[in-house]
Amino acid sequence: MEKELARTRKMVEESLTGKGAHVAPDTVFEGLSWNEAGSQPKGGGHTVYQLLEHIRYWQDWVLQWLDGKNPRVPAHASGGWPETVGTASAQEWTRAVQNFRNGLHQLEHRVRSAGLIGKNGGKSPLEMLQTIATHNSYHIGEVVAVRQLMGSWPPPKGGLTW
């Protein structure tokens, strides 16, 4: 049982970090200016900033849920998206990226330390962690696509580009 639990923890943690599947989520925003992050991609769609804030919203929601709180689910999908397309300054952008990274690291810590099997309402922590890992992965892919459209990919440290 211990081996299975250790393997499960490793799988969920690798899902959160993108290991073996895609660029690390905590590096996908590197090298992007606050102006670029708030630029609307050609053809419409969300800005990188909006994608970041949406990811952060749901990461924070899951962290509250894991803490035994009962966070409110928005009445509509739009409730999980920011109303603005970007930040007003480089400092705000840096803070938003750092808050995302902090939340991601908190989730990774929870995978390593939390009880994963018990139920909280209709889901277990394991199910919720896997759900947020999948959610993040989906939107990280969108960030890469938007950055490619803007000609700002890969980040300075590189990224999976094959």
User: For position 83, which CATH number holds?
Assistant: 1.20.120.450
| Predicted local confidence at residue 159, as pLDDT | 67
Domain with 62, as residue range(s), is 2-150
Output Rg (C-alpha) for the chain, integer angstroms. 16
Q: Is residue 157 part of a domain?
A: no
Q: Is residue 158 part of a domain?
A: no
3-state secondary structure (DSSP) of residue 120: strand
| Predicted local confidence at residue 54, as pLDDT | 98
CB contact at 8 A, 52 and 97: yes
Residue with the two structure tokens 């990274």: 101
3-state secondary structure (DSSP) of residue 123: strand
Q: Is residue 156 part of a domain?
A: no
- What is the DSSP code string of 76-107? SGGGGS-SSSS-SSHHHHHHHHHHHHHHHHHH
| Predicted local confidence at residue 161, as pLDDT | 54
Q: Is residue 52 part of a domain?
A: yes
Q: Is residue 161 part of a domain?
A: no
pTM for the whole structure = 0.92
How far apart are alpha carbons 80 and 57 in whole angstroms?
6
| Predicted local confidence at residue 139, as pLDDT | 95
How many domains does the chain divide into? 1
pLDDT digits (tens), the chain, 162 positions: 688 888 888 888 888 888 877 888 888 999 999 999 999 988 778 999 999 999 999 999 999 999 999 999 999 989 999 999 999 999 999 999 999 999 999 999 998 887 877 776 788 899 999 999 999 999 999 999 999 999 999 888 776 654
* Best CA proximity match to 12, nearest among 125, 159, 102, 138: 125
Q: Is residue 159 part of a domain?
A: no
CB contact at 8 A, 4 and 115: no
Q: Is residue 33 part of a domain?
A: yes
| Predicted local confidence at residue 146, as pLDDT | 95
